């Protein structure tokens, strides 16, 4: 609840301040980054666990995600954090669904990974909640349908 200006006195510069904000946010979301049964089970169970994790991440990130994305273009610390987080989340897709993806040719596999990535990223979930006025339960159901279809 403090003003940004009053916080600056505790840090050498804005980069230090935003770096600390990123570290705090990282510690808040880290426990939600794990996927239950990572890479194990039948496809519907894997889809369910994956979607649950993405929704839990969205809830943990909350409005900080909106602010981070709004400021990333002019703050290299935030931009770097977002790039690293997106890379990790994409890697989770390829590892969690490795068995399903291994049955696809290269072009199909890239398209499926991109589809899952685009449909489950923070901004997509936020849009379903805000623009489509869905509840988290409806978002969960929608994403599970999309992912199951993509992985067929």
- Residue 20 reports pLDDT greater than 80: no
Which residues, 6 or more positions from 52, have their beta carbon under 8 angstroms from its beta carbon? Answer: 36, 140
- Residue 54 reports pLDDT greater than 90: yes
Which has the closest alpha carbon to 95: 30, 46, 144, 42? 46
The DSSP call for residue 39 is: T
Which tens digits make up the pLDDT trace of 93-133? 999 999 999 999 999 999 999 999 999 998 999 999 999 99
Dihedral pair phi/psi, residue 25, rounded to 5°: -65, -40
The band of 2, judged by pLDDT with boundaries at 50, 70 and 90, is low
- Residue 129 DSSP SS3: helix
Mean predicted confidence (pLDDT) in 129-144: 97
Stronger pLDDT, 5 or 107, i.e. the higher one: 107
Which has the closest alpha carbon to 59: 126, 118, 115? 126
pTM of the model: 0.78
């Amino acid at each position: 609840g403090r003003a940004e200006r009053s916080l600056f006195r505790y840090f050498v510069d804005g980069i230090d301040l935003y770096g600390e904000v990123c570290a705090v946010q990282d510690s808040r979301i880290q426990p939600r980054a794990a996927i239950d049964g990572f890479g194990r089970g039948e496809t519907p169970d894997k889809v369910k666990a994956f979607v649950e994790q993405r929704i839990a991440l969205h809830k943990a990130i909350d409005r900080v995600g909106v602010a981070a994305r709004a400021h990333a273009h002019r703050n290299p610390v935030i931009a770097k954090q977002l790039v690293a987080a997106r890379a990790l989340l994409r890697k989770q897709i390829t590892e969690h669904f490795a068995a399903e993806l291994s049955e696809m040719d290269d072009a199909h596999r890239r398209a499926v990974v991109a589809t899952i990535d685009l449909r489950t990223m923070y901004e997509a979930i936020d849009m379903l909640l805000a623009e489509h006025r869905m509840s988290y339960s409806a978002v969960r159901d929608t994403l599970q349908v999309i992912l199951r279809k993509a992985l067929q």
